[in-house]
Amino acid sequence: MNLNSKIYVAGHRGLVGSAILRTLVTRGYTNIVYRTSGELDLRKREDVLRFFEAEKVDYVFLAAAKVGGIAANNDYPADFIRDNLLIQTNVIDAAFQCQVRKLLFLGSTCIYPKFAPQPIKEEYLLSGVLEPTNEPYAIAKIAGISMCQSYNRQYGTRFIAAMPTNMYGPNDNFDLKSSHVLPALIRKFHEAKESRSPQVEVWGTGTPRREFLHSDDLAEACLYLMEHYEDNEIINIGVGKDIAIRELAELIKELVGYEGDIVFNASIPDGTPRKLVDVTKINQLGWKAGISLEEGLRAVYSSFYQGDPIKL
């Protein structure tokens, strides 16, 4: 990408999209386009096509998606499969129709089989049953990956697909009904400290292990892949280390300065037992994550508590 290439960041207000936008601006890219969902509903095919025809985009970072935690996926399965299928289908096809030079589609490591061997290699996709709590979302994302690969084979497009691990960072979702585990824990412990609550409930048994990647690291990886990766196969983005939810809760408790007890609610589903990705492929390509979990958590909590912008 040249600094004056026209770049479209789909989903620029979200956790991932906002990080990509910040990174592009920091790097000196000056011709970036984006739209809010109110300005452009990516679920509407004709509107998306008109946008691409008018803007004549060179590169696309497709970070727009309907995302959420276990509760949201469980409560709104139809919304997750419908909205994601519509968004990605419309953007990918419009990118082809309007001859976009290259597109990066973001999948997710949560769409790998529930009991995939650890660490998860790229070739494990579709090798086993999916995690039931997010199956509709996973099916939609797998369809997006297949769509990119199919367009490449049939039309010679340059559409690549990456698989980021669990994300956290600025612009995260702290809504307890729809957020992922890390921001939910930050909010729970902060509010418990403020209200002097004697205990904090953590969903599940605390035994599942998760890997967490700061969104600024993901943004750096996305730009790196746009410039260096041309393979038709997916590629993992992660840190190569994981942590038990119980350990994460203790870490956040200490960071927040909460002095009460942690109670695990085993009646809530744990989800996938472990989710650690194999990052050999992207590491060999020349990229590695640089932000430690402790460093990232401090910055995220500072922003949540004080409302300050996060800078790493």
User: Where residue 308 falls among pLDDT bands split at 50, 70, 90?
Assistant: very low
Is 180 within any annotated ligand binding site?
A: yes
Tell me if 137 sits within 8 A of 111, measured CB to CB.
Answer: yes
Separation of alpha carbons 130 and 53, rounded Å: 37
User: Where residue 307 falls among pLDDT bands split at 50, 70, 90?
Assistant: low
Q: Which residues contact 224 (CB under 8 A, 6 or more apart)?
A: 285, 286, 287
Write down the CATH number for the domain with range 7-171+211-239+275-290: 3.40.50.720
φ, ψ dihedrals at 262, nearest 5°: -105, 125
User: Where residue 180 falls among pLDDT bands split at 50, 70, 90?
Assistant: confident
pLDDT for the residue 227: 97
Q: Is the per-residue pLDDT at 306 higher than 80?
A: no
The rounded mean pLDDT for the chain is 93
Please report the sign of the dihedral spanned by the C-alpha atoms of residue 10, residue 51, residue 42, residue 84: negative
Comparing CA positions, the residue from 188, 218, 187 lying closest to residue 303 is 187
Is 22 within any annotated ligand binding site?
A: no
pLDDT for the residue 74: 85
Tell me if 62 sits within 8 A of 160, measured CB to CB.
Answer: no
pLDDT for the residue 174: 84
Is 106 within any annotated ligand binding site?
A: yes
Q: How many CB atoms lie within 10 A of CB 78?
A: 8
Is 277 within any annotated ligand binding site?
A: no
User: Where residue 121 falls among pLDDT bands split at 50, 70, 90?
Assistant: very high
Separation of alpha carbons 66 and 280, rounded Å: 29
Tell me if 255 sits within 8 A of 180, measured CB to CB.
Answer: no
Report the alpha-carbon angle 82-180-138, nearest 5. Answer: 35
Is 6 within any annotated ligand binding site?
A: no
Is 271 within any annotated ligand binding site?
A: no
Q: DSSP letter at 308?
A: P
Tell me if 281 sits within 8 A of 235, measured CB to CB.
Answer: yes
Separation of alpha carbons 246 and 55, rounded Å: 48
The C-alpha torsion from 106 through 107 and 110 to 113, rounded to 10°, is -160
Taking residues 139-168, report their average pLDDT.
97
Tokens 């990647």, residue? 213
Tens digit of pLDDT for each residue in 25-56? 999 999 999 999 999 999 999 999 999 999 99
Q: Side-chain half-sphere of 160: how many Cα atoms within 13 Å?
A: 22
Q: Is the per-residue pLDDT at 269 higher than 50?
A: yes
Tens digit of pLDDT for each residue in 198-222? 999 999 999 999 999 999 999 999 9
User: Where residue 277 falls among pLDDT bands split at 50, 70, 90?
Assistant: very high
Global pTM? 0.91
pLDDT for the residue 78: 97
φ, ψ dihedrals at 283, nearest 5°: -65, -40
pLDDT for the residue 51: 98
Tens digit of pLDDT for each residue in 209-268? 999 999 999 999 999 999 999 999 999 999 999 999 999 999 999 999 999 999 999 998
Q: Is the per-residue pLDDT at 309 higher than 50?
A: no
The proportion of the chain whose per-residue pLDDT surpasses 70, expressed as a percent, equals 97
Is 15 within any annotated ligand binding site?
A: yes
Among the ranges given (103-107, 194-198, 270-274), the one the predictor scored with the smallest mean pLDDT: 270-274
Is 146 within any annotated ligand binding site?
A: no
Say what angle helices 293-306 and 181-195 make with each other, to 10 degrees. 50
Tell me if 106 sits within 8 A of 16, measured CB to CB.
Answer: yes
The strand ranges marked E within 30-129 are 32-33, 59-62, 102-106
Is 127 within any annotated ligand binding site?
A: no
Is 261 within any annotated ligand binding site?
A: no
Tell me if 296 sits within 8 A of 312, measured CB to CB.
Answer: yes
Catalytic residue among 112, 137, 151, 168: 137
Q: Which residues contact 312 (CB under 8 A, 6 or more apart)?
A: 214, 216, 291, 295, 296, 299
Taking residues 176-194, report their average pLDDT.
88
Tens digit of pLDDT for each residue in 88-100? 999 999 999 999 9
Q: Is 137 a catalytic residue?
A: yes
Segments making up each domain of the chain, as ranges: 7-171+211-239+275-290
CA dist list (Å): 135 to 32, 110, 113, 126, 269 = 34, 9, 10, 12, 14
Is 290 within any annotated ligand binding site?
A: no
**93, burial (CB in 10 Å: exposed 0-12, middle 13-18, buried 19+):** middle
